[in-house]
């Protein structure tokens, strides 16, 4: 629909909302034409939904959108777009969209690392029967660092495994599930954690949070699971603990990322690596579509938007 008066929105997937002029840009083609949107269209865009896993395709276009008022990401983290956001533009993230998918992977990585599923796969490859006793998740003390919507979804999926959960967020508070500790409490909490799951956003406060001191506070044999962002963990410090055989790790994200060929983290003992697929599952699209549709409806009606990021 073309209108001279309706606000123009640029989306990666079709959506129809009364009162908006909708155009499609998926990072590769605009309204079916390969390449970026034409300059005359960019000049009229007021709301942009970034293409999933292709945020980089829109970053060079932001300066060509003088009427831009809102950027809606399809990711929970916004560290990639925040430095490029024009002044005065509202940024909304995809809080809630990735909860189910990321929580599933966090639990899957935890179970796989504890029960040594990678070892069984390697054994199958060489027709080797690797019987024995392996650590269970049951009766473990799990520390979730980053108790937002993803962290809460992880806890929901952990509880049936008969674990004890401690929660950590930027500041202390009380939730229905129980008390949430502040980041400042980590030195007292880490020595009692068998599994530490990272689900924090990447910010100035969390970059390098998991350093040599953090890791040294974890008990021998503990497992670090990272479904947050790679730079939350100091890679060299983690490598030192893995090489010594004192800690284990299951990482969906790394620093650097993608992890280059030849990097020592690939073959460090006790590490399981997945290629940053926490949010990339069949659970993503229906939840993303619902969020975008709801945001467009609010935008068209002049109502307050959800998931606004304050910085």
The catalytic site residues sit at 229, 257, 276
Decide if 227 contacts 196 (C-beta within 8 A).
no
Give the whole-angstrom CA distance, residue 221 versus residue 249.
10
To which residue do tokens 């954690």 refer?
Answer: 193
**Dist. CA 96–CA 103, nearest whole Å:** 11
Q: Which long-range contacts (CB under 8 A, 24 or more apart) does 273-278 make?
A: 274/105, 274/109, 274/250, 276/252, 277/105, 277/252, 278/98, 278/101, 278/102, 278/105, 278/106, 278/227, 278/252, 278/253
Q: What is the DSSP string of 6-49?
A: SPEEEESS----TT-EEEEB-SSEETTEESSPPHHHHTTEEEEE
Torsional sign, CA 265, 271, 275, 277? negative
Dist. CA 247–CA 236, nearest whole Å: 13
The half-sphere exposure of 87 on its side-chain side, counting CA atoms within 13 A, is: 0
Q: Are 101 and 280 in contact (CB under 8 A)?
A: yes
Long-range contacts of 296-304 (CB under 8 A, 24+ apart): 296/9, 296/15, 296/17, 296/20, 296/47, 297/17, 299/7, 299/9, 299/20, 299/47, 299/70, 300/7, 300/17, 300/18, 300/19, 300/20, 301/19
């Amino acid at each position: 629909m073309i209108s001279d008066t309706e606000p123009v929105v640029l989306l990666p997937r079709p959506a129809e909302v009364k009162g908006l002029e909708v155009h499609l840009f998926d990072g590769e083609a605009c309204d079916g034409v390969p390449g970026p949107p034409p300059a005359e269209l960019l000049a009229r865009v007021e709301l942009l939904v970034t293409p999933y896993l292709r945020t980089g395709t829109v970053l060079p276009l932001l300066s060509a959108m003088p009427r831009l008022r809102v950027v809606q990401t399809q990711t929970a983290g916004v560290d990639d777009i925040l430095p490029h956001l024009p002044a005065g533009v509202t940024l909304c993230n995809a809080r809630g969209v990735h909860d189910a998918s990321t929580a599933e992977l966090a639990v899957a990585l935890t179970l796989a690392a504890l029960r040594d599923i990678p070892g069984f796969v390697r054994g199958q490859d060489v027709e080797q029967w690797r019987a024995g006793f392996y650590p269970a998740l049951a009766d473990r003390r799990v520390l979730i660092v980053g108790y937002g919507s993803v962290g809460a979804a992880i806890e929901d999926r952990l509880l049936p495994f008969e674990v004890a959960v401690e929660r950590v967020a930027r500041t202390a508070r009380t939730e229905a599930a129980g008390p949430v500790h502040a980041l400042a409490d980590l030195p007292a909490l880490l020595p009692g954690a068998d599994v530490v799951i990272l689900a924090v956003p990447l910010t100035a406060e969390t970059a390098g949070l998991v350093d040599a001191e953090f890791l040294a506070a974890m008990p021998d044999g503990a497992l670090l699971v990272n479904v947050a962002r790679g730079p939350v963990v100091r890679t060299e410090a983690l490598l030192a603990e893995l090489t010594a055989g004192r800690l284990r790790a299951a990482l969906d994200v790394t620093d650097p990322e993608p992890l280059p060929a030849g990097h020592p983290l690939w073959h460090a003992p006790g590490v399981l690596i997945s290629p940053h697929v926490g949010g990339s599952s069949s659970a993503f699209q229906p939840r993303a579509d619902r969020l975008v549709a709801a945001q467009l409806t609010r935008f068209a009606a002049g109502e307050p938007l959800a998931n606004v990021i304050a910085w």
